[in-house]
Amino acid sequence: MNAQSSRSDDHGDSGRRTNTPVDGYVEIDGVRLKLSQPYTGSAPWIGQREILMQLLACWITVDESDLPLTPRLVGSPGMGKTQLVIAAAKEQGLPLYIYQCTADTRPEDLLVTPVLGQSGTISYHASPLVSAMVCGGICLLDEGNRMNEKSWASLAPLFDGRRMVESIVAGIQIPASKDFRAAVTMNDDESTFEIPDYILSRLQPTLKVGFPNKQDEMAILQYHLPYAENEMLAMTVEFLQASHRLKLDFSPRDGINLLRYAIKRLQQDSNHPLSRDQAWREALERCLGEEASDLEELARRQKRALGGEAVPLGLADLFFDADDPMHPDRDEDDEYDGEYDDEDA
């Protein structure tokens, strides 16, 4: 597989005429499309080798008739989902195109956008997704959970055996190059649209990006903040690891932000320097909120709040009532007995 191989015969539907992209343009069925630029950043993926291998496996084809998979990467914000795809694209040696999904993304934004030129002519701009399809690159649909059903529906034929999209605006069908690969990231926070099952079934498997261990988390912070003092790094890693143990959502990104602010505060006034501890505490409160200074209390409060609200449904919930003694997830200890012990907080 290589990035240069988008000849017209690479494309799934040989009836369509897709020419080789030249100078940032491609012509499909007589319509000229201006292509997006690939993403050029190249930070590495640190630690957690297994999930990188799982993602790369999805993109392998084992036979002429085999198709790559488009996995869903899920996890809390700041855990490294976007970073993982950036690193995987680099490892794969293919150009990466990132499409940032939002609640108001329309189907045509995902595909081809008409742009009115000064002389009144219309030119057609290919989205990062279509550019990846045409150039034989990787497309990351980032934060896909923010996108509505109508936009997802326009991608249904892309993520099954058809591997093509239809641009109503440009009046063309666009087949994906043989080398085209994709991945979707989704935050598991509340900002989630209900994505219909027929779409989710095309975005498989689900790969869960979890918390890094202590050593990896230190390496991540050191990589992003090579100028940070060891003592500050160590305080931050201790904090993050404690929050992971309590299943709180603080992420490597939170650690990076907090450290950056603390270091700026320390540098600010050499005549009246803050102590490291003061700067770090202030950064903790300003970046992560006052409640972050008492993790155990925060964990207790979150657990209590979860007890009061509906807990997310699992597969078994379709077949058993929540209080059915046969429910496989039923746990006598789940019933709130007025207090929680710290151990499982």
User: Would you call 125 exposed, middle or buried from its count of C-beta atoms within 10 A (0-12, 13-18, 19+)?
Assistant: middle
Does residue 105 interact with Mg ion by CB under 5 A? no
Beta carbon of residue 191, minimum distance to Mg ion (angstroms, whole number): 12
- Sheet order of strands, 122-126 included: 25-28, 31-34, 122-126, 112-116
Separation CA 199–CA 152 (nearest Å): 7
Binder of ligand ADP out of 31, 34, 77, 316 (CB under 6 A): 77
Q: How many CB atoms lie within 10 A of CB 100?
A: 13
Binder of ligand ADP out of 43, 57, 60, 311 (CB under 6 A): 43
Q: How many residues bind Mg ion (CB under 5 A)?
A: 1
**Is the CB of residue 176 less than 8 Å from the CB of residue 118?**
no
Sites for ligand ADP among residues 83-112 (CB under 6 A): 83
Binder of ligand ADP out of 79, 110, 284, 299 (CB under 6 A): 79
Does residue 260 interact with ligand ADP by CB under 6 A? no
Q: How many residues bind ligand ADP (CB under 6 A)?
A: 20
Does residue 82 interact with Mg ion by CB under 5 A? yes
Nearer to ligand ADP, 38 or 75 (CB): 75
Does residue 45 interact with ligand ADP by CB under 6 A? yes
Beta carbon of residue 250, minimum distance to ligand ADP (angstroms, whole number): 12
> Quick one: what does residue 83 bind among ligand ADP, Mg ion, none, with the CB cut-off 5 to 8 Å set by partner type?
ligand ADP
Q: Which residue has the tokens 């799934």?
A: 12
Backbone angles phi, psi at 322, to 5 degrees: -60, -35
Cis peptide before 205 (omega within 30 of 0): yes
Q: Choose one: 41-49, 174-182, 290-298, 302-310; the region binding ligand ADP (CB under 6 A).
A: 41-49
- Sheet order of strands, 181-187 included: 96-100, 138-142, 181-187, 72-75, 206-208
CB burial readout 64-73, b (16+ within 10 A) else e: eeeebbbbbb
Q: Choose one: 29-37, 226-234, 252-260, 316-324; the region binding ligand ADP (CB under 6 A).
A: 252-260
The footprint of Mg ion (CB under 5 A) covers 82
